[in-house]
Amino acid sequence: MLMEDLAQTALDAALKAGATFADIRIENTTTTLIELNDGVTKQALVSRLKGAGIRAFVDGAWAFAQTTDMTRDGLRTTGESVARLAVATKDRVREKFSIDGPTFEDTVEMKVKKSFFDVSIDEKMEFAKMVDDQARDFD
């Protein structure tokens, strides 16, 4: 299933559950962490995170929910939950307002000279050690 189809599942669920507006942001991130202490490597790890943040709006009330369950059911449930939260809090909003304006879809990709995936962990550790050495020598 395409990511766009999964995103639409979440948005449809939020609107069906009472949101007058909903949007979704999907993130797919890989992080490398290298920790040095006095020039000695304490840990090196790679982590991956894929998830979605969904906002819902009702009569001036915003709600936000996030999930790492990127299945159709997981996104549907999160879409429904965030809409119910916005509906539940709308009576506590002092100023009621609506959102008018165009909708749009966009994809953002970071352009880099060299992909981080093409840099070996050894190169990353060597670079981290060089930066650590320079930082400790700076006085």
Each residue's pLDDT, cut to its tens digit, for the chain (139 residues) gives 688 999 999 999 999 999 999 999 999 999 999 999 888 899 999 999 999 999 999 999 999 999 999 999 999 999 999 999 999 999 887 777 777 777 777 888 888 888 888 999 899 999 999 999 898 888 6
Is the pTM here over 0.85, yes or no? no
Is 4 strand, coil or helix?
A: helix
Dihedrals phi, psi of 58, to nearest 5 degrees: -145, 120
Provide the β-strand partners of residue 41: 36
Hey, what domains does the chain have and what are their CATH numbers?
3-137 (3.30.2290.10)
Is residue 92 within 8 A of residue 101, CB to CB? The reply is no
Q: How far apart are CA 72 and CA 70, in angstroms?
A: 7
